[in-house]
Amino acid sequence: MSDETNLPGTLPEHLREAYEVLASGAAQILPADGLAERLRAADREGRPLRVKLGIDPSGSDLTLGHAVVLRKLRQFQDFGHTAVLVVGGFTGQVGDPSGRTATRVAQSAEQVVANATGYFDQLMQILDREHAEVVNNADWLGTMDLAELLGYTRQVTVAQLLERDDFSRRFAANQPITLSEFFYPLLQGIDSVAIHADIELGGTDQTFNNLVGRELQRSRGQAPQAVLTVPLLVGTDGVEKMGKSLGNFIGIREPAGEQFGKLMSVPDSVVGRYARLCTALHPREVDELEHQVAAGGSGANQAKRRMARAVVALYHGAAAARVAEEQFDAVFKRHEVPTDVPTFALPDGDPIHLPALMVSAAVAASTSAARRDIDAGAVRIDGEPLSARQYDHPRSALAGRVLANGKRRAVRLREP
């Protein structure tokens, strides 16, 4: 994206850097010249862009997958633009049907508010509070009269709604689609009118909803927003979308050492993607990093480390990232016993059946998995691998020692 010929139209010199960074990693920019046009307009009018992101607080801990769109929003803030977070106080009660194969259970207004507790603290680990507005769409949607709402409905046809993949699949399968779900893209579009959005961000599953906002803004005499979508982030397995149910996630509030270890476990094939979507590295730095990975060898390992440090530094600071890397090397390169691990009380009895203990201490998913790990030499006591079929141990041989299974799961055993 750094080549001038890749820029839509001719941008002034002082806007080219912003365009390069903001367009990097985008799945799609609609229309193709939309971002460049909005940057020109804001520069001409001497004002910041109003960059919209709709959020329906779930109350759950954010992962790097959730953070991709937030990182893009932060990039806009770093160039002096305003992040407008639209809390779904009203639309959260409807339920976004995007990507759904069945009707989503609606939340009450009280649930939406309750879910927001702690959620914004996580958002502000990524965003700049000084350049952020937080608004609640219940303020305008909750008070809108029927005549005004019906006026908006004339801008969207049923045929357009049925073009959406999720609606078309459900319609073809004779699965119910409620009228309130049909209204969701319309309500999201009204949000863009209400806040005078210049840009709307979202995942690729939000493209249809975001484009509705353009049509509604045009019908109300506003300049239509540009739409910038970001791709879904694959998890640490390098295959499936990052998600807690698959266990392939990295939480933004996880300890620095845990984050670093998980990032070092991702396949080389996704290192560049993580660097582009999850760090503050410049696009040209990411290009260089991708070349290192492609070359293989020690350069690929150094590129992965650079990506891991950059991610950890965002959430814990550069010093913590350096410490996390040192701890990683101590355990996995020099095979030293980790010191900063949680403790776990030994159960009653002597000897102690290790597979059951491992399950209780959450370092194995099941006793059968624990036995397989022991037999494979993945389980260590104070750094020493256990022999195959060595399942029962004297209590005295475990107390005060570190039990580790694989690279990242370890506890220090103690007496109750």
b (16+ CB within 10 A) / e for 162-176: eebebbeebeeeeee
User: Is-contact 411 363, C-beta < 8 A?
Assistant: yes
User: Is-contact 263 312, C-beta < 8 A?
Assistant: yes
Cα separation, 48 vs 13, in Å, equals 18
Cα separation, 379 vs 410, in Å, equals 9
Q: In this structure, is the dihedral angle defined by the CA atoms of residues 83, 128, 87 and 73, taken in order, positive or negative?
A: positive
Residue 14 identity: H
Cα separation, 32 vs 210, in Å, equals 15
251 secondary structure, DSSP code: B
Query: What does the block give as tokens for 344?
Result: 């776990």
User: Is-contact 95 188, C-beta < 8 A?
Assistant: no
- Cα separation of the two ends of the chain: 59
**Angle at alpha carbon of residue 393, lines to 388 and 395, rounded to 5°:** 160
Query: Do the annotations mark residue 244 as ligand-binding?
Result: yes
Query: In what helix (H) or strand (E) does residue 86 lie, and over which residues does it extend?
Result: strand 82-87
Q: What are phi and psi of 193, to 5 degrees?
A: -65, -45
User: Is-contact 21 74, C-beta < 8 A?
Assistant: no
* DSSP reduced 3-state for 144: coil
Query: What does the block give as tokens for 101?
Result: 């194969």
User: Is-contact 20 2, C-beta < 8 A?
Assistant: yes
Cα separation, 128 vs 138, in Å, equals 24
Which amino acids are annotated as binding site, given as ranges?
244
Binding-site residues for ATP sit at 244
